[in-house]
Structure 1
Amino acid sequence: VQIYIREMQKSIEKMNILIANAKLYSQLKEKVYKKEFEKRYLEDIIKETLKDLEKKAKEKSIDIIYKAEGTYPVNANPTLEDLFLNLIDNAIKYSPENGKVEIDIGDREDKWRTSVKDWGEGVADELKEAIFERFERGDVDVKGSGLGLAIVKQIVDMHEGRVWVENNPEGGSIFFVEMPKMK
């Protein structure tokens, strides 16, 4: 009975995540969040996200390495937290057991460039643009709704930024997000 209850709880949790992602995606498409911009710091957003994902990373024995030093001000709304939650969650999800995920932020003239690097399977070249579309997924064997990266793309567009993925030369993927610096 306990096993059955545990499996039901997992299924309910997955369904709740799917519903929340579908709702967020719909709200982003309708531009519900357009007016809630304020000065935020990428460092704070990412560190809070890492706290939220700490348990998930520990379950897979994944080391999360945050390499950036600075605060990185941007003009953002609360959806920016969802952006980094999706990117870092994916990096953990697609990383092998006992792996690592590296997060860094670099200065690119008038933009901050955040990178999320994993050593998982990587993304096939022919899917590198498609994975940012709704219900497109790189690996159907990994659990997910196919909405996470579509949400990331909507949020990046709303913040007048850019997102893309490249191959990690050591295996896996590096997802990049560029955001305009706060003026």
Structure 2
Amino acid sequence: MTIAEAKLKERVKELTCLYEVTSIIVNSDYDQLETSFKAIVHCFKKAWQFEDITEVLLSVGEYHVKTEGFRSDMVNIRSDIKVFNKVDGQIVVGYPSEKYAVSDFLKEEKTLLDNISLAIGNLMERKQIHDSEVATRRQMERTDRLHILGEITAGIAHELNTPLANILGFAELLKEKVNKEENVRDLNKIMDNAIFSREIVKKLMFFACEMPQEMKPVLLKPVIESVLKLLAPSLREKKINLAASFSNDSMTLRADTVQLTQVMFNLIMNAVYYSPTNGNIDLNISEKEKVIRIRISDEGKGVAVENEDKIFEPFFTTKPIGEGSGLGLSVVHGIINSHKGSISYESNTPKGAIFTIDFPKL
């Protein structure tokens, strides 16, 4: 084979590889990128001059794919993969160092490597944009769903208030007229259940932002310290270590003190409930440019992926029957929303939950 024929053969291999890799990228499923990267690595082996001993490593973001014989001590050429102008990985092509040198790689092979790195970087950029759009769409759908639920809930709460008040009022009147202890006991049960139902209605109205508020500047640290004192027995019972930190002791919000207390109590109580014995809870309050951020993280079991979109919906709970009404987080969401703030959930590492609240600064 002449030198010209050999060069032509190499160019054909390189162009074939570029075509195959481009086809793989165009048809990639964003949820199965590792499969695509494995196919790309396989294409690489066939494109290099000494394809029988070529080994490849492709590492980008969370993905790490390599051929079976790749070793870190191989003589190699590499190209960085940039995602939005930041290096996020690399492709490395290697030969056995005992027989080959860097000079054995062709200039055209380095050009091919750079072109494919650029194509993979573009793919990762499109994936990030796609993931961001999906997350935004889910957030909008959840907001719309919560808004509709809020309107329905407000109507139900108003409708239930009157009959509950009547049940409670007439039960109190009957209690004054009866003398038998067993009858009084039955009436007490009626009254207790009516009061319990009324409290649920109040929570529904909190979720729907129908409760009146007394908004005023509130110093945040004393409110949180008061909540922690209330929860001290629960923390001691499970031997939980709660670490609270404040970036500034004088952080102030415009808020309803009672509702702010309820938000903190519900979120920390949830963290205590799901935390294991001797677990750790981290409570961090910091001042950002435009918001005051409250971050509560625990080491519990966290929230299953399929339930993440439901956690702020009323009556949704993962607690056993009788241990939760499913209104705690929906009430928290309603209160924070009425304070023009936001709340978000993310999983903790290696396990647990993180709730982040942003309140607008005064």
After TM superposition, the score normalised by the length of structure 1 is 0.83
Structure 1 match to 2:357: 177
Structure 2 match to 1:134: 314
Deviation at 1:18, TM superposition (A): 5.8
The structure 1 residue matched to 2:216, chosen from 33, 38, 53, is: 38
**1:75-114 alpha-carbon deviations (Å, 9 max, x no partner):** 0002111000000000000000111111001223110110
Structure 2 match to 1:86: 266
Greater relative CO (CA pairs within 8 A, separation 6+): 1
Amino acid at match of 2:216: E
Aligned partners of 2:204 and 2:327 also within 8 Å: no
Amino acid at match of 1:172: G
Aligned partners of 1:21 and 1:147 also within 8 Å: no
CA distance in 1, matches of 2:234, 2:300: 16
CA distance in 2, matches of 1:31, 1:81: 18
Aligned partners of 2:209 and 2:338 also within 8 Å: no
Aligned partners of 1:101 and 1:119 also within 8 Å: yes
Structure 1 match to 2:148: none
Cα RMSD (Å): 2.2
Amino acid at match of 2:203: Y
The structure 1 residue matched to 2:288, chosen from 88, 92, 108, is: 108
**1:2-21 alpha-carbon deviations (Å, 9 max, x no partner):** xxxxxxxxxxxxx7996575
CA distance in 2, matches of 1:122, 1:16: 34
Name structure 1 gaps, 5 residues minimum: 1-14
CA distance in 1, matches of 2:228, 2:297: 14
The structure 2 residue matched to 1:24, chosen from 190, 197, 202, is: 202
CA distance in 1, matches of 2:244, 2:312: 24
The count of corresponding residues between Structure 1 and Structure 2 is 167
Identity %: 31
Deviation at 1:27, TM superposition (A): 3.2
Structure 2 match to 1:75: 254
Aligned partners of 2:247 and 2:287 also within 8 Å: no
CA distance in 2, matches of 1:50, 1:22: 24
- Higher alpha-carbon Rg: 2
Aligned partners of 1:27 and 1:33 also within 8 Å: no
**1:113-152 alpha-carbon deviations (Å, 9 max, x no partner):** 1011100000112212211110112344793221110110
Deviation at 1:31, TM superposition (A): 2.0
Aligned pairs for 1:143-162 within 5 A: 143-162=323-342
CA distance in 1, matches of 2:236, 2:197: 26
Residues 90 and 30 of structure 1, relative CA distance in 2, 3 Å threshold: closer
Secondary structure of 1:144 counterpart: coil
Residues 18 and 157 of structure 1, relative CA distance in 2, 3 Å threshold: farther
CA distance in 2, matches of 1:19, 1:55: 27
CA distance in 1, matches of 2:352, 2:195: 25
Deviation at 1:68, TM superposition (A): 1.7
CA distance in 1, matches of 2:267, 2:327: 12
The structure 2 residue matched to 1:53, chosen from 231, 236, 248, is: 231
CA distance in 2, matches of 1:69, 1:61: 26
Looking at secondary structure, tell me which structure has more helix per residue: 2
CA distance in 2, matches of 1:61, 1:17: 33
Aligned partners of 1:131 and 1:138 also within 8 Å: no
Secondary structure of 2:276 counterpart: coil
After TM superposition, the score normalised by the length of structure 2 is 0.43
CA distance in 2, matches of 1:100, 1:79: 26
Aligned partners of 2:227 and 2:261 also within 8 Å: yes
Deviation at 1:22, TM superposition (A): 1.4
